[in-house]
Structure 1
Amino acid sequence: MRVLMAAGGTGGHIFPGIAIARAFRQRDPSVEVRFVGTERGLEKKLVPEAGFELTCIPSGALNNVSWRRRLQTLAALPAGFWKAWRLAGSFQPDIAIGVGGYASGLAMLAAMARGVPTLAVEVNVLPGLTNRLLARLVTGAAVSYRETAAYFGSKATLTGTPVRAEFEQIPPKPPDAPRRHALVFGGSQGAQAINRAMAEAAPRLAARSGLRLVHQTGERDAEAIRAAYAAAGLEAEVHPFIDRMADALAAADVIVCRAGAATIAEIAAAGRAAIFIPFPQAADDHQRKNAEAFARAGAGEVILQAELTGERLAQSILALLDDPARLARMEAASRALAQPRAAERAVDVALQILHRPV
């Protein structure tokens, strides 16, 4: 069996794709999975590291970008479609799965043109632009939220957000474990607003004895954040990118992060408490909706970016670390929101589309 996996751009698209690819391989080691992405996306690094082959096609972005970028993207579409068409012809997939990202639309359209069955995987409440455009054309859809099913009609199956198995294997914190570990990240590419707030928070955090801080900054801000922490006397591990994020989540007591669907799902699978700072430009403000749902369940706190200051962020981090009983309640609430085996259910949907045994 051959699977064409169209997923790229950011970790929010790539990691669910990797989770599904691994679930296929776990079900049947002989399954061949080929990823389709772009040269500039994180898939260029993450997909080969996960043990899968990647084919890059010319692509771009149409949503939330300048007119110049849109024109460049439109100009690249014919070449991108042609390469995706040739790949679908040479690889001859049994099914194409689109998880979103810059190249997903072209790869899915090329597969459709070749007569290949297609499965859209949508991890957000509001589907991304690619999946909205393809909703009426795909063979089936695996969605994370009931509200999303309306976009795909009877084609939709509620599966939850696919999460890599290592996140689902993270055990709960022991009741008597010391609470002193904070993990900060702004998505797979960092977040300048969170980085700036953490730099402002550094002097107050440095005064907390025994605090252990790990911060994924993205490539652009890594050196500046290291310098800010050093100037404040704050000992911290600063990484442009954390390769073993499951290990980082397992060690963390408090997490500061954005609220993308994949991030939310991984934190719930790990059963950890979080302070969410939603990305304000996210489509339909979906990150705020994700974060507020976590907060209503008692599993997290929300600080809007417009209200974010270093003082407030430091106060929130330290208040949680100083209240182990509340942290334990938040962790239990977080784990209750998890959707285990979502990647396996997405594989089930793909096999059902192909009329193969589940």
Structure 2
Amino acid sequence: MTSRTIVIAAGGTGGHFFPAEALADALVARGHHIVLMTDARAGKRSSGVFAHSPQFVLQGAGVAGRGPIRALRAGVTLLASAWKARNLLQDVQPDAVVGFGGYPSIPPLLGARLMGRKHPALIIHEGNAVLGKANAVLSRFADVIATSFPTVAKLPMGARTVLTGMPVRPAIAALAGDPWQEPDNGVHLLVWGGSLGARIFSQVVPAAIARLPDTLRTRISITQQARADDVEAVRQAYAGMGVKARVEPFLNDVPDLLRSAHLVIGRAGGSSVAEITTAGRPSLLVPLPIAASDEQTENARAITDVGAGWMIRQPDFTAQTLATRLQDLFTAPDELARAAAAAATLARPDAALRLADIVEECLQLSPSPVPPPSSKTETRT
């Protein structure tokens, strides 16, 4: 296999960074050289696959939801970063640039396009069921758009798309096919709220558990991610009820937690949905209400449409509503089992390998061409 240099553009939250690392692992395993371009929020990586690769930190700022003056300043910053990225890319001379959405991916891909007619292959990965604002800008330059969901709203007409799924970490991919176990002696509830936890879960979940009958509450054990300043209050709330609970600001053993979970409560980000479905676990999803394109609602709908879980909008996510739903589910394990089986049908544990295949196809290292849009991904406006 011919070794090539591939720039990966990703930053911000783990939702963008975890799939980027999974792709990098797959490409390095195939003998390719990796370069990371990221933003200050992610910073340089001291561990993992990128720790042994060249890294560049670029400035940038999101423009969604800003006033006109701040949006203008952010746009100027992005353009300046794009020009800096162009100069860096001229030195690196990559064969391809792969972006994972969010504004940190704009400067490297736009900078690559500014290199002129001999620019590298440009690939973007869309992790949600709605094309993100950054990817919408970049889609006009991309050679191919890889998607996580079969149906993606706001894809441009004529875009070359292929369904790969969302790349997940190898330890998550290894969960595929692991059977969901019926809660005989106890119920394990996993609550996560995104990269930094979510205050709404810290407020609602303990209050909902307190409303459950004693006979059910004593069977529940909880692992919950919470904001650092909420951790102690949530711990005390569960301790006061006599509920076995582990509450942390960051969960570093997600694969093990998913393996033992009977139900997952959390946001509906693309990476979270991919990890839940790869593990084949039922979920109760509360979409982030301030997401720029309301993509989390569409992600959650992809789960509920196949019976793999349930969605509660944040305004309706109250202690009483959640308590009622938990009591119904935990006293009807057959419903949880059906949802777990449905979730498993959405698993794409080989997504990182599929995306690596697409990169190599764009570099003409694979004999099979990138399929046309109609054969893989449905476009919905």
Q: Tell whether the structures are fold-level matches, with TM greater than 0.5.
A: yes
What is the aligned partner in structure 2 of residue 197 from structure 1?
204
* 1:148 to 2:148 alignment: no
Report the CA distance shift for 1:75/1:357 in structure 2 as closer, same or farther (over 3 A): closer
Report the CA distance shift for 1:137/1:25 in structure 2 as closer, same or farther (over 3 A): same
Q: Percent identity?
A: 34
Question: 5 Å matches for 1:152-231?
Answer: 153-170=158-175, 171-174=178-181, 178-204=185-211, 207=214, 208-231=217-240
Instruction: Pick the structure with more helix per residue.
Output: 1
Question: 5 Å matches for 1:81-120?
Answer: 81-114=82-115, 115-120=119-124
5+ unaligned residues in a row in structure 1: which ranges? none
Q: Could you tell me whether the CA contact under 8 Å between 2:145 and 2:160 is conserved in 1?
A: yes
Structure 1 residue 262 displacement after superposition: 1.7
Q: Deviations over 1:203-260 (max 9, x none)?
A: 2369411321111113353344334334444331111111232222112111001112
Note the aligned Cα RMSD (angstroms): 2.4
TM-score (norm 1): 0.89
Whole-angstrom CA distance in 1 between matches of 2:332 and 2:48: 38
SS of structure 2 residue aligned to 1:148: strand
Q: Deviations over 1:125-174 (max 9, x none)?
A: 22111110111111222123344384262521222222223222211134
Q: Deviations over 1:296-318 (max 9, x none)?
A: 32211111111111122233234
5+ unaligned residues in a row in structure 2: which ranges? 368-381
Whole-angstrom CA distance in 1 between matches of 2:60 and 2:252: 26
What is the aligned partner in structure 2 of residue 245 from structure 1?
254
Whole-angstrom CA distance in 2 between matches of 1:185 and 1:246: 13
What is the aligned partner in structure 2 of residue 44 from structure 1?
43
Report the CA distance shift for 1:55/1:243 in structure 2 as closer, same or farther (over 3 A): farther
Structure 1 residue 102 displacement after superposition: 2.7
Q: Could you tell me whether the CA contact under 8 Å between 2:79 and 2:107 is conserved in 1?
A: no
TM-score (norm 2): 0.84
* 1:22 to 2:25 alignment: yes
Report the CA distance shift for 1:147/1:292 in structure 2 as closer, same or farther (over 3 A): closer
Whole-angstrom CA distance in 2 between matches of 1:119 and 1:263: 22
Q: Deviations over 1:23-75 (max 9, x none)?
A: 2123x1x32222222222xx338x54333144221111111345565355235
Report the CA distance shift for 1:2/1:353 in structure 2 as closer, same or farther (over 3 A): same
Whole-angstrom CA distance in 2 between matches of 1:247 and 1:294: 22
Q: Could you tell me whether the CA contact under 8 Å between 1:206 and 1:235 is conserved in 2?
A: no
Q: Could you tell me whether the CA contact under 8 Å between 1:136 and 1:152 is conserved in 2?
A: no
* 1:339 to 2:338 alignment: no
